Amino acid sequence: MPFFSRDGRLYDCLFAQQLTRELLEHLFKTADRLKTITQKKDGADYISNLLSDKRAMLYFVQPSTRTFMSFLNAAHILGVKTSEIRDTSTSSEIKGETPEDTVRTFSSYVDMIIMRHPAPGFVEKTAWLMNRTGRPVPIVNGGSGKDQHPTQALLDMYTLHRSFAGELDNKHIVMVGDLKRGRTVRSLSYLMKNYSNVSLSFVSPKEFRMEADILDFLKRHNIPFTETGDFKSVMGTADAIYMTRIQDEHDKSGESKGVDYSPFYFKKEHLELIKKTCVIMHPLPRRHEIEVSVDEDPRAVFWRQERNGMWARAALMAYIFGVDGKIR
C-alpha cells in the first residue's frame, strides 16, 4: 500500500495488513525501550521532549474510553500536544459541513489525526483525501466501523510477544464470541500472515460466525482454521484464548437478544482445562463473558493487554514521526 507510506516507512496506519513482521518486531522493541527509559524522571523527561513540537487531534466520533485514553497518554509520553473532538454536534457538521471538509479543517492545526469513526472505510477515505492535498498529515485508524482496528491488533500481538518471550510461531489461537462484528478479531486474524505454523479456532454462535472475507484471506495465506460452537473442545490445545463481548451496538433490529451467548463464557472452572502457559485475552470492555474470579489467575493478561496498548501506540507514533531511532 505505497500510497500510505513515505520514504519506505509507514505514514498512515489504516489497516492491520500494513503491519509486517519486521515492523511489528521493531515496534515491540521500541515499546519495550519506552517502558524502560520512562521508569526514571530523567528518561521520562527525555522522551517527552522528542515530539514536543508536534500536535495531534483525536477525532473520536464513536464511543470510546480505552482506545481514546490509550492514545491520549501515548501522545503525552512523547510530548505531543493534543486536542479532541468527541461529538460532531459541536463541530460545523451540524451546519451541514461534510465530514471530509471537517477533517481537512482540523488538519490545518495539527500534525497527526487519530480517528475513530462508525462508518467503514471513512478513515481510509480521509487518508486518501489528505494525501492529495498540499499539506498532508498522517492518519491513524483508532477503529473504523466493523472492519478494522489495526492498533488494537498491534497491542494484541505485543501482548502475545511479551507473554511468549517473543516466540510467536507455532501457536494455536482461539477467538471466541461475536466474530462477525468484532473488528478486533478481524484485525488480529490479518496479522497471522506474519507467523509460521499458526492455527486458529473460531468459536461463536452460528449467527455471529467469522465473515467470509477473513476466511478467504486465511485460505489464501495457507493459515489453517476451524469453526465450532463447542468452546470446551478447543480449550485444551489453545496457547491463547481471545474473548470478545457481543457487539449489539451493531444490531439493526435487536437480533442479539435472540442469541444465547452463555456457551461462549469463560468461567473459573475452565482454568482447569487450559494449558498452564495459555493466556486469556480480551480487548475490553467485558460484560459477562469472563467471570471476574478469573482475573486473579496469572494467565488472565487482559489488564496488562490494556496497558500494553499505551506503549505500543506510543511506539507507533514515534515511528511515524521518525524519532524511533532516538529511543535507545
Catalytic residue selected from 6, 21, 55, 66: 66
> Beta strands 9-10 and 5-6: pairing type?
antiparallel
H/E stretch holding 120 reads none
Domain limits, CATH 3.40.50.1370, in the chain? 2-148+310-318, 150-248+256-306
**pLDDT value of residue 96:** 77
**pLDDT value of residue 188:** 97
183 included as an active-site residue? no
149 included as an active-site residue? yes
Any idea what DSSP says for residue 239?
Answer: S
Cell matching residue 202: 473460531
Which 3 state secondary structure label does DSSP give 227? strand
Using 50, 70 and 90 to split pLDDT, how confident is the model at 90? low
pLDDT digits (tens, 9 = 90+) for 265-310: 999 999 999 999 999 999 999 999 999 999 999 999 999 999 999 9
pLDDT digits (tens, 9 = 90+) for 97-141: 888 888 889 999 999 999 998 888 889 999 999 999 889 999 999
193 included as an active-site residue? no
H/E stretch holding 27 reads helix 21-37
Homologous superfamily of 2-148+310-318 in CATH?
A: Aspartate/ornithine carbamoyltransferase (3.40.50.1370)
Mean pLDDT of the chain: 93
The answer to whether the pTM exceeds 0.75 is yes
Distance CA 138, CA 145 (A): 20
Answer yes or no: is pLDDT of 12 > 80: yes
Catalytic residue selected from 149, 172, 181, 193: 149
Catalytic residue selected from 33, 54, 116, 162: 116
CATH class for the region spanning 150-248+256-306: alpha beta
Cis peptide before 150 (omega within 30 of 0): no
Q: Which of 142, 153, 124 is nearest to 24 (CA)?
A: 153
Distance CA 285, CA 282 (A): 8
